[in-house]
Amino acid sequence: MTSHYSVLGISASASPEEVRGAYRKQVKAVHPDLNQGTSDSVERMKELVSAWEVLGDPVMRREYDRRNGYLSGRDAKPESEFDYAEFLRARRHDRESQSKLVFYDLLHDNPDEALLVYDSLCATGDFELYQYLDREDFMDCAFLLAEEYESRMEFRRAFDLYAAIVRFEQRRPYFRHFMADVYDRLRTVVCFRMPAVECAETVLNALHQMIDWELPRKDTAFCYRKIAELHLQNGDRRAAYRNLQRGLALDSRLAGVKKLQQELGYFETV
């Protein structure tokens, strides 16, 4: 049976950072989406995920090493002697440790504790998560946090985190093909969720941010349509008309505009 270390192409003495880096490098190389979903790439991906699930968890890795003879003598400590989560929790005045704890809890299905720690950090007023995690961990952690806030109907906080992911991705790609999911979630949050609980100004600001990101033409056109609808609701027909024109200029088949056109008297002078 091939060892998890061999699957990732690393030695048993590899550091956690080396394990994580090897996993990411291998995943990007064999991801089924980039290899036409061939059976070999799918099976290889399964092997990588299985290896990461064990070696990426400090407790599971120690037990795996103990059972497979990678630890010996005084190094073969029972897993109960080291609890990574408790180690991080004990360092409650260290922002880096607390940031890693947020990520750890999210990865280990403990979102309530993760949000409690994250909210406490944010309450200091000068905390930025990206300062305390490496770039890839920050983006993964931000996505998981945004999902949690979205599920709890805290849409503005979800938007801020998704927006941070977009900014980091545009500087240097990491999520790549997974960004389609981020954009889809942003569109849902801003266009359909936020308007029910936030003021029009907040939603408009979010929509203009999305337009500034130079999204695909159809997504940008959709944002302009939503901006037009909000301006019309606020009684600003001229602004509504201008933004509808911008949307149609990008996508002449923009869906859901017929009623808006009728209300604006689109073919009349506004």
CA atoms of 55 and 264, how far apart (whole Å): 60
Q: Is it the case that residue 176 has pLDDT exceeding 90?
A: no
12-61: pLDDT as tens digits? 888 888 888 888 888 777 765 555 556 677 788 888 888 888 898 888 88
Query: Which tokens sit at 177?
Result: 């093909």
Instruction: Assess if residue 194 is contained within a domain.
Output: no
Using 50, 70 and 90 to split pLDDT, how confident is the model at 267? Answer: low
Instruction: Assess if residue 156 is contained within a domain.
Output: no
Query: Which tokens sit at 183?
Result: 């954009």
Q: Domain boundary residue among 20, 40, 74?
A: 74
**What pTM, to 2 d.p., does this model score?**
0.68
CA atoms of 18 and 38, how far apart (whole Å): 28
Q: Domain boundary residue among 74, 95, 113?
A: 74
Q: What percent of the chain stands above pLDDT 90?
A: 51
Instruction: Assess if residue 188 is contained within a domain.
Output: no
Using 50, 70 and 90 to split pLDDT, how confident is the model at 196? Answer: very high
Residue 62 structural domain: 4-74
pLDDT at 74: 39
